[in-house]
């Protein structure tokens, strides 16, 4: 058996709440519920504003994309160039004038 004691409270042992205080319990719960609902609504509004701003930003970048950078004369290291995407990327960068260093493991 455990030597730990557990305190059990029954309704008969509950502290006495005066009648004048009992009537104020419901408005406090109502105010807390209203406050939490307001916080939830405010968070939802902030998420919508951020979403709208990101959509406008992506639309602007779609209409006016950033200028392309020339890779001619640049040194590029590409890993996994034995086949697939790495190989195609190495070929395309070499055609654009970049100095390509192809790195792959022997297995």
Q: What per-residue confidence (pLDDT) applies to 83?
A: 85
Q: What per-residue confidence (pLDDT) applies to 22?
A: 66
User: Which of 24 and 41 is assigned the larger pLDDT?
Assistant: 41
Render pLDDT for 16-34 as a digit per residue (tens, 0 to 9): 666 666 666 677 788 889 9
Q: What per-residue confidence (pLDDT) applies to 3?
A: 61
Q: What per-residue confidence (pLDDT) applies to 38?
A: 96
* DSSP result, 23-64: TTHHHHHHHHHHHHHHHHHHHHHHHHHHHHHHHHHHHHHHHS
Q: What per-residue confidence (pLDDT) applies to 106?
A: 77
Domain residue ranges in the chain: 13-66, 68-107
Render pLDDT for 42-96 as a digit per residue (tens, 0 to 9): 999 999 999 999 999 999 999 999 898 899 999 999 998 888 899 999 999 999 9
Q: What per-residue confidence (pLDDT) applies to 43?
A: 98
């Amino acid at each position: 058996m455990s030597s730990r004691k557990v305190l059990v409270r029954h309704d008969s042992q509950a502290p006495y709440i005066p009648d004048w205080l009992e009537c104020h319990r419901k408005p406090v719960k109502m105010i807390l519920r209203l406050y939490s609902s307001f916080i939830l609504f405010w968070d939802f509004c902030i998420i919508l504003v951020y979403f709208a701003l990101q959509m406008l930003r992506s639309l602007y970048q779609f209409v006016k994309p950033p200028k392309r950078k020339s890779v001619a004369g640049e040194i590029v290291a590409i890993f996994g160039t034995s086949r697939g995407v790495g190989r195609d990327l190495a070929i395309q960068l070499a055609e654009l004038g970049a100095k390509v260093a192809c790195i792959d493991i022997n297995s």
